[in-house]
Structure formats: structure tokens, C-alpha cells
Amino acid sequence: MALADYGTALVTGATSGIGQATALALAERGLTVHVAARRADRLEGLSQAKGIVAHAVDLRDSDAIYAAFSDLEADILINNAGVARGFAGIVNSTPEDLDATIDTNVSAVFHLLRAVLPGMTARRRGHVVNIGSVAGLYPIASAIYGGSKGAVHLLSSNLRIELQGTGVRVTEICPGRVTTEIFDHAFDDPEAVARVKDTGISELRAQDVADAILFALDAPAHVNISTLEMAPTEQTFGGMALAPLNRQ
């Protein structure tokens, strides 16, 4: 099943950044796109776009997930919603930071899968796209956020085995730094927000990631883009540079 064969998508965390760019791109391709997020005021603006159906749902509430989406015949599920509370480390975080990150980044993903996968497997068609992170593939100095994205990575890998033979594909997109709002809400201290956002590099844009998602969705039925890692040109992982190398 390529993208042209799908009719309905569900995108979480759709009121800004990657989720919003992806939802609008899918709607432009003619799909009916159900978008889920907590901020009802922003959803109202997004719902004005043709093909968008808005759901004000707190994804930390599993009962609300099942009430909203168990009967939705979604061909595509894009698990994009995520937060980075506790990014300063476990020692400097509150129990509320832990709950916010794990409940949003991990638990909600499991419940959303449980809500929509029975329909996908029964119809023998569908595509799950989990938005992971390079923080789930490589060590970073944030055990809470990195651990949550590591869970998404292993979930995606294991889910492909569970779904083998059902016709349902699973893709994990692992971006590096993206210009989104995630760090605006990661810290209570505005100076900390400014420091972590000051990378000095040209970051990925939300549309870059949305384009990668559509690339995976548009692959023919016999092709599954399993894991796609993408990053700004000047951001690298998995090694150590003793000094910057200036190449002419």
C-alpha cells in the first residue's frame, strides 16, 4: 500500500512542529487526517484546513485515547506527540517531570497502538510511523528523555516482528535537532531554554521531517522503511572529535 491507497490518518501532537507539518501535508494529498492534541485553541485553527478533523485529547489519559480512537478506521498512525521534561537529568527533575515524559513519550504510544492496530490487522493494511529520536539510538546527557526514545526504538523493532504477515508496516523516524517548540516547554527557566536552543548550527525544519515521513508512507507495499535517521549536516553522533577539523 502506497500513500495513494490510504484514506485516513491519525496524527498526534499536531498543533505545532512536525505533527502540524505532517498533518497538513497528508491533507494536501487528499487524506482525511484526524489530529490529536491537548491545546484546544490551536486545534481550532488547524481544523479550518480542508481534510482535518480535530480531537482535543490529553494523551496521558488512556481512557480518553480509547474513547476517541478505538472505532477509528485509521490506515496511518503517526505517533508524534512528545515532551522533554526532565531534560536536565533525573537528579534535577521532579516526579511530575518523569511522569509527563514517560506518559507522553512511551505510555501513550502503547495505548494508541492498542487502540488502532486491531482494525489495521483485521483489514490487513496500515502503516505505523513512530517519531523516535537520535537520543534513542545514541547516549545523551538526559536519561529520562533518551530512555523514553530508546523505548520507542525497541518498541518499533519488536512491533515489526509481531506484525509480520499482517500487511501492516512500521517505520521509525529518528531526527536530530529540529527547530520546534519542544525545548520551550522542557525547562521552567527561560535562560535554560535559551542555552539549550543556542546550537549555532542550521537545524532541521519540521517540514524536513514531514517530507521523510511521506517518503516512508509513499513506498510501495513490498517496501518498509524500517528506521530512518536524519540530522543537521553539522550534528554528528556516535564518535568523539578531539578538535574541530577545518576542511577547505
| pTM exceeds 0.75, yes or no | yes
The reported pLDDT for the residue numbered 205 is 94
Domains parsed from the chain with CATH numbers: 3-229 (3.40.50.720)
**Residue 245 pLDDT class (50, 70, 90 cuts):** low
The reported pLDDT for the residue numbered 235 is 85
Q: Which residue has the higher pLDDT, 39 or 131?
A: 131
pLDDT in tens, 106-120: 999 999 999 999 999
pLDDT in tens, 186-220: 676 777 677 776 778 898 999 999 999 999 999 99
Position of cell 500500500?
1
Q: Which of 6, 66, 138, 145 is catalytic?
A: 145
The reported pLDDT for the residue numbered 201 is 84
pLDDT in tens, 44-79: 888 888 999 999 999 999 999 999 999 999 999 999
Cα distances (angstroms) measured from residue 68 to each of 34, 62, 63, 64, 248 = 10, 10, 9, 6, 56
66 is catalytic: no
Position of cell 550534528?
235
